[in-house]
Structure 1
Amino acid sequence: MIERRLVGARVLRDSGWSDAPVTVAGGHLSDAPARDVDLSGFDLLPGIVDVHGDGFERHMAPRRGALRERDAGMWAVTSELAACGITTAVLAQFWSWEGGMRGPEFAEEVFESVSLVRGTVPVDLRLQLRLETHYLESFDRALEAVDRWGIGYVVFNDHLPHKRLAEGRKPQRLVGQALKSGRNPEAHLALMQGLHAASDQVPAALDGLCGQLAERGVRMGSHDDRTAEGRAEWRGRGVDVSEFPETVEAAQAAREAGDPVVLGAPNVVRGASHAGNVSALELVEAGLCDALASDYHYPSPARAAWRCVELGLLDEAAAWGLVSSGPARVLGLSDRGRIAEGLRADLVVMEPQTRRIVATIAGGQVAWMSGAVAGRFLA
């Protein structure tokens, strides 16, 4: 761990920019005496807390069917996270009937690799299990995974094409999805039809599972909420985080009930949803966002925060709060997300002109450093 007093930088605190020095000692922000590092000309911001990201997949399975790099891939992930200013990362892994990289077997590889790497790198790696609601036969196995790997966040998805299945039509992109799952198209279709046919068993099964997760203190969220009624149903099970709501109605219902709303940073950067849903920018402007997540692209949180500033939607402190203090609150992490004495030393050093991240300190350790700023620390 480093022990340094960082001076000369503009420092982004809750109330805005400050020129007061920031001291890192013992892994925390401190007032202890330490050697000065002159960061004049740079900005100092809280480390990014990424509440939901699956960009790690391309490191662990860079080419489907050709190469799997479990542990080495996770090491590479931590380097990319740090280079993007992410000091706390929730790795969102599917647990789905879809199979392949979304199946339980691959999920267990991810969880095991995180358990081996966690604690040996500065970035705080955490796990999210994304459970398919109709995958009833795997609920017990998923609960065992939660216990075994200490998973603290479970999110519920439903990727079944119910409308087409109810109409007796083949789902779109059936062949491609079947190939990814390792099944032939006929077997994949039969699986989906069977899961859809058992839909009446799902509510009771979810009630029971959510009760067991709540007893374990697991945070729970729902993915792709579309209606106020659907959000209320999830809330009744103790599932209070609304991840990536697809409509203003669902996001507004979450806000009125005090449920945190998580949106995708790539959606903000693009200016629109790639799936044709409500724009995250629209929800940010309406005040219906508590946190921006990397989703599938780790550079996006920092870029999205500044995009909100450039468009005049938020000031700099509020915009950066959507990727730092906001997601920390969603996760119940009161020890990070802000620059204040006594908190975990998670910091990002940025060039103000280019807004390029040149150094990241996570838990008081150097996680990433590049260019001229390195000379400041080594001087």
Structure 2
Amino acid sequence: MLELTITGARVLRPGGWDSGTLAMAGGQLQADPVGRRVDLSGYDVLPGIVDPHGDGFERHMAPRRGALRERDSGMVACAAELAACGITTAVLAQFWSWEGGMRGPDFATEVFAAVGAVAPSVPVDLRLQLRLESFFIESFPQALAAVERFGIGYVVFNDHLPHARLAEGRTPRRLTGQALKSGRSPEAHLALMQRLHAGGAEVPAALDGVCTALAARDVRMGSHDDRDGAMRANWRARGVTISEFPETVEAAEAARAAGEPVILGAPNVVRGASHAGNISALSLIEAGLCDALASDYHYPSPARAAWRCVELGVLDAADAWALVSDGPARLLGLTDRGRLDSGLRADLVVVERETRRIVASIAGGQVAWMSGAVAERFF
């Protein structure tokens, strides 16, 4: 682990920028200077990014359907990409779904095993999230077993069944493509969706049971794509207290009124709109209805989204960066990171002041990624 003191840089503290020193040793930030000094004049130092939800690892784990099964090496490459994007803590969001293929339980188990094998050997803190399809109740026992086996601390509930079209007897959109991804024929895929949809009356009791079991294991729980206040209230009654990517102002306001954290997608901020046509994340941030930004499907987006909030005058630098560091750390219960304070983990990113390009990431006091001229300052 590094033992050194950074000097000359502009440092983003909880209260804003300052020009003081930043020391680290034993994987933690120190109150007083230690070790050798590293002059980072011209650079900015910010807290490492905590990503509470991202599935960008899929391109590493399965770069081409059926072509490769080198899961461990894919996860090593993913950890490098995370670090290059300034992410020092990453929650890897893996589906556990009837959709099959890369969203099915078999692939999920491979991902969980790969993270377990690779995580001890990389500086970036890799964590797991299981995204459980709420109508896939026949798999709930196996999902709970996976939570236990792999020490998964965060479960989020989704529902990707096209209920409206199924109820109307119409063929779901993109059926053939989705069936091919699942490894099923279109007819078999449709029959599965119809069966799950028809079993909707059994879902509430099954969700009550699985949520009770997860709470007994101290697993954090979130709901995905809350549509309104009533939907948020239903999840709240089950102890599901995190609202991921609410689709409307009403849903986000309902979460905030109950003191529940709201996670929004960083790509939504970068684009200026939701790719799915839902509420703009920027409008929710302006309304004070966002606690954390997540990479969702694009690891470079958290840093870019924070700067976008600054560029548009929505937030100052400290508050904008908190959405990708302190905010997500708090909702995940990670009190040892997210800020540049003595005694916390030495998780930080070094940024070129003029370009805002991330040139170095340090996670837990270890170099996770470094590039270009800044490396000469350290070595």
> What range describes the TM-score normalised by the shorter chain of this pair?
over 0.9
Q: Quote the Cα distance in structure 2 between the aligned partners of 1:258 and 1:73.
A: 38
**Residue 178 (structure 2) pairs with residue 177 (structure 1):** yes
Verify the 8 A CA contact 2:21 2:33 in the aligned structure 1. Answer: no
Q: Quote the Cα distance in structure 2 between the aligned partners of 1:121 and 1:164.
A: 45
Which residue pairs with 1:87 in the alignment?
88
Q: Residue type of the partner of 2:25? A: A
Compute the TM-score of the two structures, normalised by the length of structure 2: 0.99
Which residue pairs with 2:28 in the alignment?
28
Q: Quote the Cα distance in structure 2 between the aligned partners of 1:344 and 1:72.
A: 27
Q: Quote the Cα distance in structure 2 between the aligned partners of 1:173 and 1:258.
A: 38
Q: Quote the Cα distance in structure 2 between the aligned partners of 1:167 and 1:267.
A: 31
Which residue pairs with 2:156 in the alignment?
155
* 1:252-299 C-alpha deviation (Å, 9 max, x unpaired): 100001110000000000000000000101101111000000000000
Q: Quote the Cα distance in structure 2 between the aligned partners of 1:147 and 1:105.
A: 16
Which residue pairs with 1:318 in the alignment?
319
Verify the 8 A CA contact 2:306 2:324 in the aligned structure 1. Answer: yes
Verify the 8 A CA contact 1:62 1:68 in the aligned structure 2. Answer: no
Which residue pairs with 1:345 in the alignment?
346
Q: Quote the Cα distance in structure 2 between the aligned partners of 1:206 and 1:322.
A: 30
Which residue pairs with 2:253 in the alignment?
252
Verify the 8 A CA contact 2:55 2:92 in the aligned structure 1. Answer: yes
Q: Quote the Cα distance in structure 1 between the aligned partners of 2:128 and 2:5.
A: 33
**Residue 14 (structure 2) pairs with residue 14 (structure 1):** yes
* 1:75-94 C-alpha deviation (Å, 9 max, x unpaired): 00000000000000000000
Which residue pairs with 2:54 in the alignment?
53
Verify the 8 A CA contact 1:122 1:362 in the aligned structure 2. Answer: yes
**Residue 236 (structure 2) pairs with residue 240 (structure 1):** no
Cα distance, 1:33 vs structure 2: 2.2
Secondary structure in structure 2 of the residue aligned to 1:118: helix
Which residue pairs with 2:203 in the alignment?
202
Which residue pairs with 1:119 in the alignment?
120
**Residue 145 (structure 2) pairs with residue 144 (structure 1):** yes
Cα distance, 1:32 vs structure 2: 5.3
Output aligned runs, 1:172-321, within 5 Å: 172-321=173-322
Verify the 8 A CA contact 1:59 1:69 in the aligned structure 2. Answer: no
Q: Quote the Cα distance in structure 1 between the aligned partners of 2:342 and 2:217.
A: 31
Q: Residue type of the partner of 2:65? A: R
Q: Residue type of the partner of 2:141? A: D
* 1:97-116 C-alpha deviation (Å, 9 max, x unpaired): 00000000000000000000
Secondary structure in structure 1 of the residue aligned to 2:94: strand
Q: Quote the Cα distance in structure 1 between the aligned partners of 2:227 and 2:165.
A: 18
Q: Quote the Cα distance in structure 1 between the aligned partners of 2:25 and 2:346.
A: 8
Q: Quote the Cα distance in structure 2 between the aligned partners of 1:33 and 1:325.
A: 25
Secondary structure in structure 1 of the residue aligned to 2:90: strand
Compute the TM-score of the two structures, normalised by the length of structure 1: 0.99
Q: Quote the Cα distance in structure 2 between the aligned partners of 1:352 and 1:324.
A: 19
Percentage identity across paired residues of the two chains: 76
Q: Quote the Cα distance in structure 2 between the aligned partners of 1:359 and 1:125.
A: 18
Verify the 8 A CA contact 1:54 1:93 in the aligned structure 2. Answer: yes
Q: Quote the Cα distance in structure 2 between the aligned partners of 1:377 and 1:75.
A: 24
Secondary structure in structure 1 of the residue aligned to 2:255: helix
The two structures, once aligned, show a CA RMSD in angstroms of: 0.6
Tell me, which stretches of 5 or more residues in structure 2 are unaligned? Answer: none
Q: Quote the Cα distance in structure 2 between the aligned partners of 1:148 and 1:32.
A: 42
Verify the 8 A CA contact 2:347 2:362 in the aligned structure 1. Answer: yes
**When the two structures are aligned, how many residues end up with a matched partner?**
378
Verify the 8 A CA contact 2:54 2:92 in the aligned structure 1. Answer: yes
Secondary structure in structure 1 of the residue aligned to 2:120: coil
Secondary structure in structure 2 of the residue aligned to 1:141: helix
Verify the 8 A CA contact 1:25 1:32 in the aligned structure 2. Answer: no
Cα distance, 1:119 vs structure 2: 1.3
Secondary structure in structure 2 of the residue aligned to 1:119: helix
Q: Residue type of the partner of 1:210? A: C
Secondary structure in structure 1 of the residue aligned to 2:121: coil
Cα distance, 1:34 vs structure 2: 1.3
Q: Quote the Cα distance in structure 2 between the aligned partners of 1:6 and 1:164.
A: 59
Cα distance, 1:65 vs structure 2: 2.2
